[in-house]
Amino acid sequence: MPPQDFDLFSPPPKPPRPPAAGQASVWPVGALCLAVADALQARFNPVAVEGEISGLTRAGSGHLYFSLKDERGQLRCAMFRRAASLLDFTPREGDKVVARGRLTVYEPRGELQLVVESLRQAGQGNLYEQFLRLKNVLEQEGLFDAARKRQPVAMPRGIALVTSRNAAALHDVLTALRRRAPHVPVLLVPALVQGAEAPASLRAALQWLYAGIAAETLRRADGSALRVDTILLVRGGGSIEDLWAFNDAALARLIVQSPVPLIAGIGHETDFTMADFCADLRAPTPTAAAELAAQDGRQALQVCQHWQDRLEQVFDRLLQAEQQRLRRAAQALARPSILLARHEAALAGLAQSLRLQTRLQLRRHDQQQDNLQRQWSRSTRTALERLQQRLARAALRMEMLDPQRVLERGYAILSTGQGEAVRDAATVARGERLRARVAKGELELEVRDTDGLPPELF
């Protein structure tokens, strides 16, 4: 039974003949089906249905056809190729799923059907039960023991970041690290963070990183050696299914083998995974993980300045105390002028040396701060130039892909009444109204025949 999309340009159904006295209205069959479909649209749509997949078939066009059933009934369903291509899992016979879509009536047979627009696996409760069982097993193995966990170093020489290149968490972490510690190099070790292949990808990334740390073979972009003191394992928020890769038992056992402190920042504050329990430190978010990994450079400079001021005050007090002691000793001696002169000269020399050393320390501190500022400025300019080049190339590609240029060569763009582009003849029905966009203006068309759409799909 093929799904039926309502044509917005179709004429309205003929109204039923007025009933005779004491008789019910007489409806044409097609008109009644359309009226029922309209009632379903107004009463239920959009609708979500949970059930078990039965009678699953895959058409050559890419459409999926199946029934959803439970102990009390069943509902025929159809899922167009475009929606089916967005699935993050492969539906199978007997799977328990939640389908979202629109209820319609297939007029040739007068049967109720659901046009599925999205599909997800049901049974989060089952996943949570698996989570609790695995947590109990790993806890019994001692992987969560607080005694073995280490605190990250306050000022790391290098940070390794394990996450996806496309994750939003990557931008958040890098932004926080550049703000707090722009002088600390960051090594990105890309890995998948969602899907069936994610656990193996995460394990491979950590194994490669562990080996590089042990062999001291990690390098910066300029080829110099990179010493990694901290590892960040991060991912943004999501459902329990989205975060399930971080509940892999083998990954949990690998995390506790990290040669340096490992901080996990996975999901939001309320999300917990096995990786969080096994890490040396758990952060509520990826950004918080970055803040825990590196001390704010400005705060460190303020601390240094505070202790420098304290040292100068202490030395000044000591100097004044020694000067007073020498004066009292001079008064107690009969003729200690020569000895006192020597002591005063030595004391003056020490004072001068102390002042010089203090000024040198301040000068070195200022030079280090200037060097850090210049390095940050060079890095910012380089990154900006790269982004400008990428933007220019993207603008050129966008100009080359301008649909208007294609239309001016005599081509047309077909779209449905809902504005969706027509890419496959199998997705349109006979009699359906289409719009054709040409280089100058638009045309309205009616489908007379198509080779791609079978007369029946059930």
Read off the CATH number of the domain in which 162 is found: 3.40.50.2300
State residue 300's pLDDT score.
63
Sheet containing 413-415, strands listed edge to edge, beginning at the edge strand earlier in sequence? 413-415, 433-437, 442-446
- Which DSSP category does 364 fall into? H
Q: How many CB atoms lie within 10 A of CB 179?
A: 14
Q: Which residues contact 182 (CB under 8 A, 6 or more apart)?
A: 297, 372, 375, 376, 379
Please tell me whether residues 246 and 317 are part of one structural domain. Answer: no
Please tell me whether residues 283 and 363 are part of one structural domain. Answer: no
Please tell me whether residues 87 and 206 are part of one structural domain. Answer: no
Q: Which of 125, 141, 162 is the last residue of a domain?
A: 125
Please tell me whether residues 285 and 157 are part of one structural domain. Answer: yes
Residue 233 to residue 265: CA distance in whole angstroms? 6
Task: Name the residue type at position 40.
Answer: L
State residue 30's pLDDT score.
67
Q: Find out whether 454 and 2 touch, Cβ atoms under 8 Å.
A: yes
Q: What one-character-per-residue DSSP string does 270-315 give? A: T---HHHHHSSEE-SSHHHHHHHHS--HHHHHHHHHHHHHHHHHHH
H helices, E strands: number in the chain: 11, 13
Residue 425 to residue 446: CA distance in whole angstroms? 13
State residue 446's pLDDT score.
87
pTM: 0.45
State residue 171's pLDDT score.
93
Q: Answer yes or no: is 218 within a domain.
A: yes
Residue 392 to residue 432: CA distance in whole angstroms? 42
pLDDT tens over the chain, length 458 residues: 333 332 223 334 455 555 555 556 777 766 776 777 667 666 667 888 888 888 889 898 889 999 998 888 888 999 999 999 888 788 888 788 888 888 887 777 778 888 899 888 876 546 677 888 899 999 999 999 999 999 999 889 999 999 999 888 999 999 999 998 898 999 999 999 998 999 999 999 999 999 999 999 999 888 889 999 999 999 998 877 789 999 999 999 999 999 999 999 998 887 889 999 999 999 999 999 999 998 876 666 666 677 787 888 888 888 888 888 888 777 766 565 666 777 788 888 888 888 888 888 888 888 888 888 888 888 888 888 888 898 888 888 877 777 777 777 788 888 887 888 888 888 888 888 888 888 888 888 888 876 654 554 43
Burial of 400 (0-12, 13-18, 19+ CB in 10 A): exposed
Please tell me whether residues 303 and 268 are part of one structural domain. Answer: no
State residue 152's pLDDT score.
93
| Tokens found for residue 239 | 């459902």
Q: How many CB atoms lie within 10 A of CB 297?
A: 18
Q: Which residues contact 351 (CB under 8 A, 6 or more apart)?
A: 319
Range of the domain at 33: 29-125
Task: Name the residue type at position 164.
Answer: S
State residue 103's pLDDT score.
83
State residue 20's pLDDT score.
54
3-class DSSP state of 98 = strand
| Tokens found for residue 351 | 């004072």
